[in-house]
Amino acid sequence: MNILLLGSGGREHALAWKMAASPLTDRLFCAPGNAGIAQEAECVAIDIADHAAVIAFCKANGIDLVVVGPEAPLCAGIVDDLEAVAIKTFGPSKAAARLEGSKGFTKDLCRANGIPTAAYERFHEAKPALAYLRARGAPIVVKADGLAAGKGVVVAQSLAEAEAALEMMFGGGLGEAGGAVVIEEFLDGEEASFFALCDGTTAIPLTTAQDHKRVFDGDRGPNTGGMGAYSPAPNIDAAMSARIMREIITPTLEAMQAMGAPYQGVLYAGLMITTQGPKLIEYNARFGDPETQVLMLRLMSDLVPALVAAREGQLKAFDLRWYAEPALTVVMAAKGYPGAYTRGSVIEGLDAASAVEGVQIFHAGTKAEAGQILANGGRVLNVSAIGKTVREAQARAYQAVSLIRWPEGFCRHDIGWRAIERET
Ligand code: AMP
């Protein structure tokens, strides 16, 4: 098969690494890719927001399958546009990607189908929203309806904080994404990410992960796209997994099918495991980043037939196998991230770091120039490792980090602390 992967981050490097290893893969392309992906795939400089350009490339290169990494093209309807010209594509349609693209859509779907989630109301105007806030009190959570690149959620500990968030969103601080707002109950518990592969009618569980969103050690500082992750999530055992499938994933799939928007692709559920059971915080319509980096290290089976089976509606009899060993990834970011940072600093020592046992380094934001690897983003490298325990995976990842010479970069030093505490 000739496969085209869309995206340029660590998630796409991990997917490319796994797909390149498949005996089914003939040629693997990635648009636009990065310096790490270029070791696994032929990178092509196409603007993936230009659907006509993507279609033209697929036709000229006999592409048999397109795999979409990030959410923006999904919500922009790239799957619909490619499928309309008979190019097979892995990922949800625009209508199905509303599970990520509109928080209000997902909340209403949960309410209509008895799917456990935080109590909420949707608002299109500030005044009734403010009245609701004041009636409920803090802690409370204010969310912009649309895609806001991780900036659309404010978990407010005080009413003043919640009011400021509301003012910012309705004031246009997040553009169109904040035109509508969801206000919801604060959920207490431990979070986990749950991934399912869906073919429209059948969902099969992938595995689970936990991530660290805050930028500094001890889970302090501003939120980021994710500073590290590990898999599996220690708070989801087989019984909890079955319950999540039964109470959350399966009814969602049925509801999407009933409304004529069957969901195909990866369904990524952000969950709060509360004393009353699992509750849905949000859906994402694609693989997680950086969770995919640890998922791919743990996936024993070939990924390509799984993606094809999802696209073809043939997951019913499909089985995926996973290594039992945990995996962990440490994100190395450019100093200043998630605020302002500079690009173009030189990264050295990657070969020695990659040689550490169990380690795989995925590139999240790099480019190659004159034989050097340069930082080219906020999150730059995902130093990932598998081990017999989370502690061992963590030790391997940090040993690799110590061999990377990049003074302009930084990372957290406690990724996996909660899981390691449980192990000991
Ligand atoms: P989201 O973008 O919806 O995943 O929200 C980002 C983060 O905000 C989540 O990972 C949670 O840590 C937190 N969060 C979102 N909704 C709630 C909620 N209802 N209660 C507590 N924390 C929440």
Residue nearest atom 7 in ligand 1 by C-alpha distance? 153
Pairwise CA distance, residues 26 & 12, whole Å: 18
Check whether 176 has a pLDDT greater than 90.
Answer: no
Q: What is the pLDDT of residue 150?
A: 67
The candidate with the shortest Cα–Cα distance to 195, out of 153, 229, 241, 163, is: 241
Mutate to test the pocket of ligand 1, among 153, 183, 213 (most ligand atoms within 8 A of CB): 153
pLDDT tens profile 272-314: 999 999 999 999 999 999 999 999 999 999 999 999 999 999 9
Q: What is the pLDDT of residue 296?
A: 98
Q: What is the pLDDT of residue 124?
A: 92
How far, in Å, from the CA of 153 to the mean position of ligand 1? 7
Check whether 340 has a pLDDT greater than 70.
Answer: yes
pLDDT tens profile 63-74: 999 999 999 999
207 CB contacts (<8 Å, ≥6 apart)? 195, 231, 232, 295, 298, 322
Torsion of CA 266, 9, 32, 68, to 10 degrees: 0
Check whether 146 has a pLDDT greater than 70.
Answer: yes
Inter-CA distances, 7 with 29, 43, 68, 304, Å: 11, 10, 7, 17
Closest ligand 1 atom to residue 152 Cα is: 2
| % of residues, the chain, pLDDT over 90 | 92
Residue 382: both structure tokens together:
């995902």
Pairwise CA distance, residues 34 & 41, whole Å: 10
Check whether 151 has a pLDDT greater than 80.
Answer: no
pLDDT tens profile 89-131: 999 999 999 999 998 999 999 999 999 999 999 999 999 999 9
CB atoms within 10 A of CB 371: 5
Where residue 217 falls among pLDDT bands split at 50, 70, 90?
very high
Where residue 145 falls among pLDDT bands split at 50, 70, 90?
confident
Pairwise CA distance, residues 257 & 73, whole Å: 22
Pairwise CA distance, residues 258 & 149, whole Å: 29
How far, in Å, from the CA of 12 to the mean position of ligand 1? 25
Q: Please indicate whether residue 289, judged by its CB atom, sits closer than 6 Å to ligand 1.
A: no
How far, in Å, from the CA of 272 to the mean position of ligand 1? 8
Q: Please indicate whether residue 254, judged by its CB atom, sits closer than 6 Å to ligand 1.
A: no
Q: Please indicate whether residue 282, judged by its CB atom, sits closer than 6 Å to ligand 1.
A: yes
Q: Please indicate whether residue 233, judged by its CB atom, sits closer than 6 Å to ligand 1.
A: no
pLDDT tens profile 13-24: 999 999 999 999
Pairwise CA distance, residues 140 & 186, whole Å: 5
Q: Please indicate whether residue 189, judged by its CB atom, sits closer than 6 Å to ligand 1.
A: no
How far, in Å, from the CA of 139 to the mean position of ligand 1? 12
Q: Please indicate whether residue 153, judged by its CB atom, sits closer than 6 Å to ligand 1.
A: yes
CB atoms within 10 A of CB 214: 16
Residue nearest atom 15 in ligand 1 by C-alpha distance? 281
Where residue 413 falls among pLDDT bands split at 50, 70, 90?
very high
Q: Please indicate whether residue 118, judged by its CB atom, sits closer than 6 Å to ligand 1.
A: yes
Pairwise CA distance, residues 168 & 72, whole Å: 23
Q: Which of 150-164, 245-259, 335-349, 350-364 has the lowest mean pLDDT?
A: 150-164
Inter-CA distances, 157 with 79, 125, 163, Å: 39, 22, 11
Check whether 12 has a pLDDT greater than 70.
Answer: yes
Q: What is the pLDDT of residue 174?
A: 81
Q: What is the pLDDT of residue 319?
A: 93
The candidate with the shortest Cα–Cα distance to 224, out of 216, 232, 215, 233, is: 215
250 CB contacts (<8 Å, ≥6 apart)? 203
Angle at 9 between CA 7 and CA 15, to 5 degrees: 75
Residue nearest atom 3 in ligand 1 by C-alpha distance? 282
Q: Is 313 left (phi over 0), alpha (psi -120 to 50) or beta?
A: left
Residue nearest atom 9 in ligand 1 by C-alpha distance? 281
The candidate with the shortest Cα–Cα distance to 214, out of 338, 90, 400, 50, is: 338
CB atoms within 10 A of CB 355: 10
Closest ligand 1 atom to residue 103 Cα is: 3
Answer yes or no: are the C-beta atoms of 76 and 6 closer than 8 Å. no
User: Where does 245-389 have alpha helices with state H?
Assistant: 250-258, 291-298, 303-312, 350-354
Pairwise CA distance, residues 313 & 318, whole Å: 10
Q: Please indicate whether residue 184, judged by its CB atom, sits closer than 6 Å to ligand 1.
A: yes
Check whether 392 has a pLDDT greater than 80.
Answer: yes
How far, in Å, from the CA of 20 to the mean position of ligand 1? 35
Answer yes or no: are the C-beta atoms of 63 and 40 closer than 8 Å. no
Count, in order, helices (H) and strands (E) of the chain.
Answer: 15, 21
How far, in Å, from the CA of 164 to the mean position of ligand 1? 17
Inter-CA distances, 137 with 120, 143, 160, 162, 163, Å: 13, 16, 10, 9, 11
Check whether 10 has a pLDDT greater than 70.
Answer: yes
Q: Which of 48-57, 171-180, 324-333, 413-422 has the lowest mean pLDDT?
A: 171-180
How far, in Å, from the CA of 155 to the mean position of ligand 1? 7
- What angle do helix axes 10-20 and 291-298 make, rounded to 10 degrees? 20
Q: Please indicate whether residue 187, judged by its CB atom, sits closer than 6 Å to ligand 1.
A: yes
